[in-house]
Structure 1
Amino acid sequence: MTPATAENTVKCVVWDLDDTLWDGTLLEGDELHVPDANRTLVRVLDEHGILQSVASRNEPGPAEDRLRDFGLDTYFLHPQLGWSAKSASLRTLLDLLNISADSVLFVDDSEFERAEVARELPEVRCVTREKLHELVAGGRVLPRQVTADAARRREMYQAEDRRRGHEETFQGPAEEFLSSLGMTLRVRNATEGDLDRAAELTRRTHQLNTTGITFDRDELAELVRDPGHRVIVAELDDRFGTYGTIGLAVLSTGPEWTIRLLLMSCRVMGRNVGTALIAALARTAAAHGARTVAHFRPTDRNRQMLVTYRFAGFAVVSRSEDRVVLTMPEDRIPAVPGYVRLVTDDTATVLSRPTQEVTR
């Protein structure tokens, strides 16, 4: 199967069921069968980070039972089963998945249903299952590159649903809620396998980003090989699953370790793990006999990151029109918040680490 060009990449495929995902009509008591080509395609789409759901005129219970019987139920997020217009089902999915209509492929055997969706949601691409297979084979659907995070995108959505349900029912202070998540932050040197996701983070993350500098994959690879630089990635897990790679730091090293870029994915906004990442960087620098310096370039969206630096103990040493330079006093290296467990690669030589930090 051929990868898609960037402009044609699809984020979600929404399947009808009767005579589309499976052969036969459930309500008519037909013997249902999922073609092997459809089974394979569902798996391939999932492995390439393309979300999938269902919009079908069927009773929820029996339809869900059959999806479970076929071993396909876990692939589909928020199945829309019932008697609403298909366009209404798709609007619900767009809201639940937080994606745009132009990133969705709707697959249905019924010309009437495709026309109804095309009229109400003209940005959604509406196709038959035969056309879907043709588009995939022709390189119009699958992304060219699949990061580790993309390959588990569906699982991360499912984990976030469980997490949101817990948050909605939790009663207590914010810090108790954070403690209840059981978060583990893993901070390590980037490897070859991290570079696509790291480059993606520099392109997509604007709010929780200290300088707005972007790096492509080749530039990051060069920095990884450069003994005068460190490229650091941070991964976050909790009791509900993984958030994936959510943080990136690019540092120049020497007598001072300067954080040229620090960013956090918006998917962890509100988890307050920025201080733990900064603590890991400052402790590693101290272990190498260096003090930590940070650069901040203000934009119209990133003031929160300057607040994060100041809260972590950085002091401003100079300001210009386009840059703030901060330094971490040697006696002010921040403690790791009690609600997150920190696991690092190379802070073994740091003395008096807090008990929640683990060094591999």
Structure 2
Amino acid sequence: MADGSCKNKEETGKNIKCLVWDIDNTLWNGILSEDKQVTLRKGVVEVIKTLDERGILQSIASKNNYEDTMEKLKEFNLDEYFIYPQINWNAKSHSIKKIAQLINIGIDTLAFIDDQPAERDEVRFVLPQVSCIDAGCLGTILDMPELNPRFITEDSKLRRSMYQNDILRKNKEESFSGTQEEFLASLEMVLTISSAQEGDLERAEELTVRTHQLNSTGYTYSLEALRTLQESSNHKLLIAGLEDTYGIYGKIGLALVECKEDEWVLKLLLMSCRVMSRGVGTIMLNHIMREAKAANKKLKAEFIPTDRNRMMYITYKFAGFKEMHKDGDMVIFENDLLNIPPYPDYIELIFRQEATNLAF
């Protein structure tokens, strides 16, 4: 994605979660403040809609008047495709950093497209983790490996609407006058935990690739590896889905348990960052603890610290897991299963051995 060339580079394994657009002479031809009759660049609508279908979020970092820009985007029927647009006179790097914070994704999962070398250089200097794209590469952008996820799942296709629902939830929470638990109860959440089925495996791989903050080991698993584990009599592969009054969150959690003769080992626990404040990780962990106790097995868990997953360490500690020893970078936890807390009242729980029939 370096300037001066639009040729596809060798795939680095980097996955872009959000493409941030400049507007003038990037999304449309011309400068809006100078000419109200700007026209869309050739092929830009196809790019925007295709990326949206792939599950890649899109936003805006533009030095422009907010009202005029949004009015023009509405005129082109494109305003709905951009979440948390930053249309102001701040540095582009400042706007991009704010977008990452609002979406709650790593800055290294963003790309920025702009026609001005100086703007790209400013972003590159302040935020070297952000991939910068010359607007002249618009014609080949859909071929870039970083913008081509391996799978397009049902969650991918609904990702933008899920984030738009999250914005509605945040607005509701900010104006809510009760306690946090009362707010969560008002959402009427339903959490479904089920054994992963064949139709869940693409999303399961996507979760391991996309989830970093709430991932107990940082490991990724291929579709083939997950299928082997799903079919294994010595493993439990659990997937969680969530919905509430605002709509569906999709499949947002994954757990892998190795079932040994005298103990269970939680090899992986991860949650989408979108449900960080919903307590879902703790609930899923609680469920596994109850299952292990019912099976009369010891329960251990593996944890590998990364630069992002401190919250998972805290989740294990709050759930009563104690550090037993270390194996290289890996921490081995164990829970005595003597004091398993009750499930919270603010959420309805459904446990299934078969695939959920909720439309995720």
TM-score, normalised via structure 1 length: 0.74
Q: Does 1:294 align with 2:299?
A: yes
Report if the CA contact (8 A) 1:275-1:334 is conserved. no
SS across alignment from 2:28: coil
Question: Residue in 1 aligned with 2:57?
Answer: 51
With over 3 angstroms needed to count, the CA separation of the structure-2 counterparts of 1:51 and 1:215, relative to structure 1, is: closer
With over 3 angstroms needed to count, the CA separation of the structure-2 counterparts of 1:207 and 1:143, relative to structure 1, is: closer
Question: Residue in 2 aligned with 1:351?
Answer: none
Deviation at 1:143, TM superposition (A): 2.8
Q: 1:109 aligns with which of 104, 115, 119?
A: 115
- Count of paired positions: 338
SS across alignment from 1:31: coil
Report if the CA contact (8 A) 1:183-1:237 is conserved. yes
Q: 2:235 aligns with which of 221, 229, 251?
A: 229
SS across alignment from 1:176: helix
Deviation at 1:42, TM superposition (A): 0.2
Report if the CA contact (8 A) 1:251-1:260 is conserved. yes
The aligned amino acid for 2:64 is N
C-alpha distance in 1, partners of 2:96/2:177?
Answer: 33
C-alpha distance in 1, partners of 2:237/2:108?
Answer: 34
Q: Look at both structures and tell me which one has the larger radius of gyration over its CA atoms.
A: 1
Per-residue Cα deviation, 1:153-186 (whole angstroms, up to 9, x for no partner): 3333333333333333323333212212221101
Q: Does 1:263 align with 2:263?
A: no
The aligned amino acid for 1:193 is G
Q: Does 1:238 align with 2:244?
A: yes
With over 3 angstroms needed to count, the CA separation of the structure-2 counterparts of 1:157 and 1:3, relative to structure 1, is: farther
Report if the CA contact (8 A) 1:291-1:328 is conserved. no
Report if the CA contact (8 A) 2:253-2:272 is conserved. no
Question: Residue in 2 aligned with 1:198?
Answer: 204
Question: Residue in 2 aligned with 1:340?
Answer: 347
Deviation at 1:239, TM superposition (A): 2.9
Q: 1:63 aligns with which of 49, 69, 81?
A: 69
Q: Does 1:181 align with 2:190?
A: no
With over 3 angstroms needed to count, the CA separation of the structure-2 counterparts of 1:250 and 1:143, relative to structure 1, is: closer
With over 3 angstroms needed to count, the CA separation of the structure-2 counterparts of 1:143 and 1:5, relative to structure 1, is: farther
Per-residue Cα deviation, 1:8-33 (whole angstroms, up to 9, x for no partner): 54333222223321234433444333
SS across alignment from 1:63: helix
C-alpha distance in 1, partners of 2:36/2:325?
Answer: 73
With over 3 angstroms needed to count, the CA separation of the structure-2 counterparts of 1:193 and 1:116, relative to structure 1, is: same
**Range with greater deviation from structure 2 (176-185 or 151-160):** 151-160
Question: Residue in 2 aligned with 1:277?
Answer: 284
With over 3 angstroms needed to count, the CA separation of the structure-2 counterparts of 1:308 and 1:214, relative to structure 1, is: farther
Q: Does 1:80 align with 2:86?
A: yes
Q: 1:133 aligns with which of 134, 139, 155?
A: 139
Report if the CA contact (8 A) 2:258-2:267 is conserved. no
Per-residue Cα deviation, 1:125-147 (whole angstroms, up to 9, x for no partner): 44443313224335453233344
Q: Does 1:21 align with 2:27?
A: yes
The aligned amino acid for 1:55 is A
SS across alignment from 1:27: coil
Per-residue Cα deviation, 1:209-234 (whole angstroms, up to 9, x for no partner): 3x777644323211211244331111
Q: Does 1:304 align with 2:314?
A: yes
C-alpha distance in 1, partners of 2:92/2:316?
Answer: 45
Q: Does 1:172 align with 2:178?
A: yes
C-alpha distance in 1, partners of 2:113/2:296?
Answer: 57
With over 3 angstroms needed to count, the CA separation of the structure-2 counterparts of 1:250 and 1:124, relative to structure 1, is: closer
SS across alignment from 1:230: strand
Q: 1:41 aligns with which of 44, 47, 52?
A: 47
Report if the CA contact (8 A) 2:292-2:299 is conserved. no
SS across alignment from 1:133: helix
Per-residue Cα deviation, 1:76-125 (whole angstroms, up to 9, x for no partner): 12222233343443343344334555544332334554455455555544
SS across alignment from 1:269: helix
C-alpha distance in 1, partners of 2:108/2:238?
Answer: 34
C-alpha distance in 2, partners of 1:82/1:97?
Answer: 18
Report if the CA contact (8 A) 1:185-1:236 is conserved. yes
Per-residue Cα deviation, 1:40-80 (whole angstroms, up to 9, x for no partner): 10011122232211233332112212211222111112222
Report if the CA contact (8 A) 1:15-1:21 is conserved. yes
C-alpha distance in 2, partners of 1:51/1:266?
Answer: 15
Q: 1:145 aligns with which of 142, 151, 168?
A: 151
**Range with greater deviation from structure 2 (107-116 or 181-190):** 107-116
The aligned amino acid for 1:304 is I
- How high is the sequence identity, in percent, across the aligned residues? 35
Report if the CA contact (8 A) 1:255-1:291 is conserved. no
With over 3 angstroms needed to count, the CA separation of the structure-2 counterparts of 1:4 and 1:231, relative to structure 1, is: farther
C-alpha distance in 1, partners of 2:116/2:351?
Answer: 54
C-alpha distance in 2, partners of 1:328/1:123?
Answer: 42
With over 3 angstroms needed to count, the CA separation of the structure-2 counterparts of 1:346 and 1:137, relative to structure 1, is: closer
